Every structure is written in C-alpha cells, then in structure tokens.
A and B are shown apart, each in its own frame.
Chain A
C-alpha cells in the first residue's frame, strides 16, 4: 500500500495509480497541495509504488 500523509491525517491507498488519480480518490484538489516523496517534489503523472510514503503539503493559506 501507499501511505499518504497530510497534516495529522494518514491514508492508505492502492499502489500503481498516478498521483493525480490518487488525489482524486482521496477527494483532494491537486491545485491545493504539493506532494513530496523522499524529499523530492512530484508531478501529477508520477506513479505511486507499494511501500512508499507521500507527504502532502497544503499550499492554501488564509488571511
């Protein structure tokens, strides 16, 4: 499985999907997050593999 972390929330998703499709499955708009894997920023066409951890950084701030 792929572990996806966003702030205090942790999700497990099926491997083999693109980042874009994974975000859609999690109901997260790609425009609102940056995805980091092992310190590297990912584009939305990247395939997520079994055992990986993806950190999502929220980019929208208020004020």
Chain B
C-alpha cells in the first residue's frame, strides 16, 4: 500500500474513499476537506465570529485546531459539568481545553454549571429525576441551553460543534429505528439561525471517527482519552458498534447512509421543511425560545429541582 499523493508509506487507509495517505498528506487532506464542507453547506465565512464548543475530546479540539489553521476567527467554549468529582473526568477535560487554548493563545469561555446553576450535572440529574437517573438527558439539555446562551450573549455569528460522521450516523440510526421524523427533519450539517437561536453547524459531519482520532494523534493534540463515566453502555455507543459491523463488510456504508439521508430529505421524503411549523416564543424565565407552554425545558428542570428540594426539607 502506498500514499496516493506521493507514493511513500501510508499511515491510514480510508477504505470508503479507496484512499491511503502518508502522515503529511493526511494532515493536509483533513483541513482541505473541512474547508470543502464549510463551503458546500455554507456554514460560515472568514469574516464571521465563530464559537466552537470544546469538550477536551479528540473531535472538538481537532476541529478548533483545523479552523485556526484555515484562518477562521474562532473562540472556544468549555462547559464544566462537574462529572467525576475533584480531579475526575470534568477536571481533566477542562485542563485539556485550557492547555490547548493557552498554548495557542486562543480565547476560551468557561461556564461552570455548579457555580451558575447551583449543582453539578450528576446532582441535577438526581434531584430533577429527569432521564431515569442517567445524567445524559440533563447533560444534553444543559449544554444546548448554555451553548446558545453564550453564543448569543457574546454576539457570535455561528456556533460550531465537533460532531463526526459516526455521531451523526448513530443518531440517524436510532431515529430511523424509531421513525422519529420530527428529529430526522432537523438533523443536518447546518441548522440556520432562528429568532433566539444561534446558527449551529457541524464541519466534521462527513469525517469518520477513526479519521478524527488519527488527525488528533498525528497532530499531537492532547485530548482526554478517558470516557465519560456515564457513557458506559450508552445507546449511542451500541449504535456506533452496529454501524461499524455494517461498515466492516461494506466499506462506505456509514457515509452512504448519511449522505443518502441528506439527499432524501432534500428531495422531500419526510416533509418539506416549510410545512413544519413550530410555535416558538421566549421562555418566561430565561428568554430563550421554546415551543413549550411559557417555560422552556431547561428552566422547568431547575424548577423541578427546587420543588424536590422543598419536598425533601418538608419530610
């Protein structure tokens, strides 16, 4: 096997593209492809102010690295979730993000959930009883709320996340299994800005997770290798494993599944986007848009936490 560009020894063989590349050419190929996707899906321009949400993992830190190399104006946002106690998962991931931004002289916003909302994510999950005592539901809800709030209050034009193809395919697989059309219609590389919502984009949505891990390692990006303790046995990992079984026997299956979905959606398989209307209005408490009655899911979660506290004190 040889690098397709220079004929030297390759470090990676991407069977779905029938493409083997050596280290220097792979490290060129990833940013070039990222730029192609940014333009193809009209994600953002070099004149816009970009906020990238970073978790300390391989995808988001690699994305930040790529966007800076491509010359975009990108600041970071790290949300400290309070998982794993002192010196645990959240502390390590925060350290990774802080080191990354400091070494490259980049601006990093840090939001500490415990300081801003009184409790860590595991505590909120326990006290609100949302998501059957698993922190993932509370975590997702909180991150979406905080990302949008920070993006809007600091006047960023676009909010960027490091979701890769395997992430997207796992979500799509789950939604397809359950025919969750209302979620499928919203799954896309770009979610346009709406009143109260920042534009959200996923520049890595066409890269395999393995490619992003290879990029991080070959670029010597220090990322948190340890998994979130709550992800053990998660549905998303199970779906990724199932999709990789299909991929193993049929290279390119994951990419085709995603791209054909986007094409089918564009062709109106599910519904024309303009026929789906959501009655969004500002949350009575935080002001972020919500389709729920008066109060958004995030604020309702905090209210439920207070109610449960009061009940426990009254016992």
Contact = CB atoms under 8 A, between A and B. Distances in A.
Contact of A59 (B213, B231, B245, B248): B213
A38 interface: no
B234 A57 contact: no
Contact of A61 (B12, B208, B218, B227): B227
Contacts of B20: 43
Nearest to B26: A41
A51 B146 CA distance: 51
Contacts of B210: 31-34, 59
A36 B209 CA distance: 17
A43 B210 CA distance: 12
Interface string B157-181: 0000000001000000000000000
A40 B12 CA distance: 11
A60 B228 CA distance: 12
Q: Is the interface of B mostly helix, strand, loop or mixed?
A: helix
B286 interface: no
A42 B212 CA distance: 15
B1 interface: yes
Interface residues of A, number: 19
Interface in B188-233: 208-210, 212-214, 217-218, 225, 227-228, 231-232
B57 A29 contact: no
B94 interface: no
A43 B234 contact: no
Contacts of B10: 43
A41 B214 contact: yes
B13 interface: yes
Interface in A10-63: 29-34, 36, 40-45, 57, 59-63
Closest 9 CB pairs of A and B: A62-B231, A59-B213, A41-B11, A31-B244, A62-B234, A62-B237, A43-B13, A59-B210, A59-B209
Interface of A: 29-34, 36, 40-45, 57, 59-63
